[in-house]
């Protein structure tokens, strides 16, 4: 089981954490939402929970809860810039379909 990050995603998270001035790492999770069933959740983590699994890649800790790990195993978090738009991209090998707007997915 693993969650990885591209160089650009790791740099972006490190910058966010540095500017924030605190934080253990970044939580990656899923929640029920959208037209396809699930949506990604990203949030900063100040305190770990007992049920958390911690992955470290390129100096950044990615924290995942047990429920989400089933859906996220093997995912690479990337940070991309496309024209004037920029944001995190999830390269998740587990998804079977995504909604047209790209906000949710199904496994």
Report whether 68 belongs to an annotated binding site: no
Q: For residue range 2-25, list pLDDT tens digits in order.
A: 899 999 999 999 999 999 999 999
Please check if 60 is assigned to a binding site. Answer: no
d(CA 6, CA 17): 17
Give residue-wise pLDDT tens across range 88-107. Answer: 999 988 877 666 555 666 67
> Is residue 90, in this structure, part of any structural domain at all?
yes
Smallest Cα–Cα separation from 103: which of 41, 39, 42? 39
Question: What average pLDDT does the segment 73-86 reach?
Answer: 92
Q: Would you tell me how many other CB atoms lie within 10 Å of the CB of residue 11?
A: 15
- Report d(CA 18, CA 11) in Å as an integer: 10
Q: Using DSSP, how many helices (H) and how many strands (E) does the chain show? A: 2, 9
Domains of the chain: total = 1
Within a domain: residue 43? Answer: yes
Residue 104 is assigned to a structural domain of this protein:
no
pLDDT of residue 32: 84
CATH of the domain at 68: 2.60.300.12
Centroid of chain to Cα 78: 9
Residue 92 included in any domain: yes
Is residue 107 in some structural domain?
A: no
Which residue segment(s) compose the domain that 17 sits in?
A: 4-96
Q: Is 82 annotated as a binding residue?
A: no
């Amino acid at each position: 089981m693993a969650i990885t990050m591209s160089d650009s995603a790791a740099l972006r998270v490190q910058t966010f954490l540095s500017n924030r001035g605190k934080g253990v790492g970044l939580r990656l999770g899923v929640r029920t939402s959208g037209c396809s069933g699930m949506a990604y959740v990203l949030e900063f983590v100040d305190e770990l929970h007992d049920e958390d699994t911690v992955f470290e890649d390129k100096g950044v800790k990615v924290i995942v809860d047990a429920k989400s790990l089933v859906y996220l195993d093997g995912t690479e978090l990337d940070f991309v810039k496309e024209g004037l738009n920029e944001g995190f991209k999830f390269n998740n090998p587990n998804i079977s379909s995504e909604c047209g707007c790209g906000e949710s997915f199904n496994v």
